[in-house]
Amino acid sequence: MFALISRTYATKQTTGCLFVFDGDRAIFNCKTIELPYLENEQNISCIPEGIYRVYKLHSTKHGDCFHLIDVPGREFILIHKGNYASGKNVDTRGCILPGLRFADINGDGNIDVAESTKTMKLLYEALPKTFKLIIT
């Protein structure tokens, strides 16, 4: 099993589609939102494209989430619930936020992900304890 995120870069945020594969068959997909790409600068940029090892983790702050290992120049990058990667109330400092769809939830003109808590639960059920994540 592995997951793939295909990204689209913009000035304010990075949007993506995440696919979970069991062999060559896609078994789940959702949307993702991240910070814009700003040369992998900590706390203000999404992480670089690449292949990462990922482990399930339970965080006191984020609940059930996934931990990406060996991100160049970064530590403790997660996939966790959250809706906003731009605007006043940003839910990420470099992590990946999943959702079922894109929407402007808070009406600030920025793209957000909706139903992140539900999506995180579905991802946690679909993925094994450890897997490979490919980000393109």
Residues 55-81 pLDDT 10s: 999 999 999 999 999 999 999 999 999
What pLDDT score does 72 carry? 96
Domain ranges (residues) in the chain? 2-135
Q: How confident is the model over 40-64, as a mean pLDDT?
A: 97
Q: Identify whether the C-beta of residue 86 lies closer than 8 Å to the C-beta of residue 110.
A: yes
What pLDDT score does 92 carry? 96
Beta strands 50-59; 130-135: pairing state: antiparallel
Q: What is the mean pLDDT of the chain?
A: 97
pLDDT digits (tens, 9 = 90+) for 98-116: 999 999 999 999 999 999 9
Phi-psi category of 109—alpha, beta or left, where left has phi over 0 and alpha has psi -120 to 50? Answer: left
Query: At 88, is the pLDDT very low, low, confident or very high (cuts 50, 70, 90)?
Result: confident
- Residue 73: C-alpha distances to residues 7, 48, 70, 130 (Å): 20, 10, 8, 22
